[in-house]
C-alpha cells in the first residue's frame, strides 16, 4: 500500500492553527445571540466539503494497492494523542493518511476523545468506524483460567500456561509460585517454602500482558478473601495447629474425600490419628511423592523415600499436596467429632466406610476387594 508522506510540517501547522482559529471564532459567535451572520457557518461547511472531496480523491488513489487483510493490533495508552495514534495507524497500513484522518477527527470534535485500550483493526475498515471505536473505548483483551480444586503447583502452572496462550510459561509460573515474598501474613510462617496450597482454586480472568507473579498474587489474594469467614485462630487454639498445618490437612482431605459430605469425617480421622501418634498412612501423599498418578499403589510404593511418605513418617507431611477447596478448608477447621481411626473406599468409589475398629476395617477392605 502506498502511504501518504507528510513532508510539509509547516503547512500542517498552519492549517492546524487556522482550524483552531475558525473553531474559536465560531464558538465565540454562537455565544453572541444578536449576531446572525451565516458567513462563518458557511465557511466551515465549505471547508468540510473541500476536505471531504480531497479525502475521497486520496482514498481512491491509495485504496487499490492490495492492502493486506490481516488484523492489526494497536495499543492506546493513557495520555496518547490522536496525532500519535493516527501515525501508528498509518505505519501499520490501517489508514492511508494520518494527516487527513486527524483532520476528520478535528472537524467532528473528537481529536481529544480517544480512549486507552487494546484495539484490533483491519485495513479495509472505514475511517469513520475506526474513529468511532477509538472514541468509544474498548476493553483490553483478556484470558480466562479455571483452576479446579486439588491441583498441585506444577499442574496449576501448566493450566495457566495453556490459558494464557504461552504469554506465561509454566516455568515462569512455577518460579513465581515457589517464591514466598508476597505481602500476606499467612506466608510468614518459616515452615513455608512455596505457595503450594494457597493458590486458591477458582475461575479467574486476567488482562493479556499480566505477569506470572501478578497471577500468583491474585490467587493468593483469593485465598485471603475466601478464608476471611473461617475461624482459623480458634482452630489453631483448639487443634494446636498453625494455619499452615490446617492448610496441609485441608489438602489431604481434598485428595482423600470421595464426596463433600464426608470431608469433616476424613478430618476427624486425621486428627484422631495425630493425637494417638499413629502414622496417617494416606495414599494421596504417596502419589504426591511419586510425582505422577498411579491407579494402584504397590507395597514398594509405600516405602518411597520421601518426607511426604505418611506410611514411614509420623505426623503431617511437610507441606500441602494440592490447593484445597473452601469446603476442605472448612472441614480442616471444623472437623466432625468422632472416634474413627480408619476408612476404606467402598466398591463403586462414591463413599468411604469409617470405623474405629481395626478388624472392621480389614473386613471392609476385603469387601471392597482391596
Q: What is the pLDDT of residues 64-85, one digit of tens each?
A: 444 445 677 787 877 778 888 8
Q: What is the CATH number of domain 9-28+43-136?
A: 3.30.1490.480
CB 74 within 8 A of CB 89: yes
- Amino acid 138: pLDDT: 61
Between 58-72, 135-149, 219-233, 325-339, the lowest mean confidence (pLDDT) is in: 58-72
The pLDDT confidence band at residue 159, using thresholds 50, 70 and 90, is very high
- Amino acid 79: pLDDT: 72
How far is it, in rounded angstroms, from Cα 302 to Cα 309?
7
* Residue 148: Cβ-neighbour burial (10 angstroms; 0-12, 13-18, 19+): middle
What is the maximal distance between C-alpha atoms in the chain? Answer: 107
- Amino acid 48: pLDDT: 54
- For the segment 232-255, what is each residue's pLDDT rounded down to a tens digit? 999 999 999 999 999 999 999 999
Q: Where are the alpha helices (DSSP H) in the chain?
A: 9-31, 39-62, 82-91, 98-107, 127-136, 153-163, 170-177, 212-226, 232-239, 243-256, 263-276, 283-290, 326-333, 358-367
Reported as type and span, the H/E element at residue 120 is: strand 117-121
Residue 5 has pLDDT above 50, yes or no: no
- For the segment 290-300, what is each residue's pLDDT rounded down to a tens digit? 988 787 888 89
Is pTM beyond 0.75? Reply is no
Q: How far is CA 90 from CA 72, 113, 127, 318, 336, in A?
A: 11, 19, 11, 59, 68
How far is it, in rounded angstroms, from Cα 355 to Cα 317?
23
Residue 210 or 319, more confident: 319
Residue 330 or 19, more confident: 330
- Amino acid 129: pLDDT: 81
Q: Any idea which residue has 497471577 for its cell?
A: 215
How far is it, in rounded angstroms, from Cα 354 to Cα 346?
10
- Amino acid 75: pLDDT: 79
Between 68-72, 127-131, 145-149, 343-347, the lowest mean confidence (pLDDT) is in: 68-72
Share of the chain above pLDDT 70, in %: 79
Q: Which cell is 81 given?
A: 494523542
**Residues β-bridged to residue 117:** 76, 138
256: three-class secondary structure by DSSP: helix
Residue 332 or 120, more confident: 332
Q: Which cell is 341 given?
A: 481411626
- For the segment 170-223, what is each residue's pLDDT rounded down to a tens digit? 999 999 999 999 999 999 999 999 999 999 999 999 888 889 999 999 999 999
Mean pLDDT for the chain overall: 83
Residues in the chain: 370
Nearest to residue 147, comparing CAs of 220, 210, 229? 220
Residue 4 has pLDDT above 50, yes or no: no
281: three-class secondary structure by DSSP: coil
* Ranges in the chain annotated CATH 3.30.1490.480: 9-28+43-136
- Amino acid 270: pLDDT: 98
How far is it, in rounded angstroms, from Cα 273 to Cα 276?
5
Q: How far is CA 259 from CA 36, 77, 240, 350, 353, in A?
A: 81, 49, 27, 7, 12
CB 251 within 8 A of CB 283: no
- For the segment 87-141, what is each residue's pLDDT rounded down to a tens digit? 888 888 888 888 888 888 888 776 667 888 778 787 767 888 888 888 877 656 7
Amino acid at each position: 500500500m502506498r502511504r501518504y508522506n507528510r513532508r510539509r510540517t509547516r503547512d500542517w501547522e498552519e492549517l492546524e492553527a487556522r482550524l483552531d482559529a475558525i473553531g474559536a471564532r465560531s464558538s465565540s459567535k454562537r455565544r453572541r445571540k444578536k449576531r446572525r451572520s451565516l458567513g462563518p457557518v458557511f465557511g466551515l461547511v465549505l471547508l468540510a466539503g473541500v476536505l471531504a472531496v480531497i479525502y475521497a480523491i486520496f482514498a481512491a488513489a491509495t485504496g487499490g494497492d492490495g492492502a493486506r487483510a490481516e488484523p492489526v493490533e494497536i495499543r492506546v495508552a493513557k495520555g496518547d494523542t490522536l496525532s500519535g495514534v493516527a501515525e501508528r495507524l498509518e505505519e501499520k497500513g490501517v489508514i492511508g493518511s494520518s494527516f487527513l484522518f486527524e483532520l476528520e477527527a478535528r472537524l467532528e470534535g473528537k481529536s481529544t476523545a480517544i480512549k486507552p485500550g487494546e484495539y484490533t483493526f483491519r485495513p479495509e475498515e472505514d475511517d469513520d468506524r475506526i474513529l468511532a471505536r477509538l472514541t468509544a473505548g474498548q476493553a483490553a483483551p483478556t484470558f480466562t483460567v479455571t483452576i479446579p480444586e486439588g491441583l498441585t503447583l506444577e499442574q496449576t502452572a501448566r493450566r495457566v500456561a495453556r490459558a494464557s496462550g504461552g504469554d506465561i510459561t509454566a516455568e515462569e509460573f512455577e518460579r513465581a509460585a515457589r517464591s514466598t515474598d508476597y505481602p500476606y501474613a499467612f506466608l510468614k510462617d518459616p515452615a513455608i517454602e512455596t505457595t503450594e496450597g494457597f493458590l486458591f482454586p477458582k475461575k479467574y480472568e486476567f488482562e493479556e500482558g499480566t505477569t506470572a507473579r501478578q497471577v500468583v498474587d491474585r490467587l493468593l489474594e483469593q485465598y485471603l478473601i475466601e478464608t476471611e469467614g473461617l475461624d482459623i485462630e480458634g482452630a489453631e487454639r483448639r487443634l494446636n495447629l498453625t494455619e499452615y498445618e490446617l492448610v496441609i490437612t485441608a489438602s489431604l482431605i481434598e485428595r482423600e474425600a470421595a464426596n463433600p459430605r464426608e470431608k469433616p469425617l476424613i478430618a476427624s480421622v486425621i486428627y484422631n490419628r495425630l493425637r494417638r501418634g499413629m502414622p496417617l498412612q494416606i495414599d494421596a501423599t504417596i502419589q504426591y511423592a511419586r510425582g505422577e498418578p498411579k491407579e494402584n499403589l504397590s507395597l514398594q510404593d509405600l516405602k518411597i523415600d520421601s518426607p511426604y511418605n505418611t506410611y514411614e513418617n509420623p505426623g503431617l507431611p511437610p507441606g500441602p499436596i494440592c490447593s484445597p477447596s473452601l469446603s476442605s478448608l472448612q472441614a480442616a477447621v471444623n472437623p466432625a467429632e468422632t472416634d474413627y481411626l480408619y476408612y476404606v473406599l467402598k466398591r463403586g468409589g462414591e463413599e468411604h466406610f469409617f470405623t474405629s475398629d481395626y478388624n472392621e476395617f480389614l473386613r471392609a477392605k476385603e469387601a471392597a476387594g482391596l
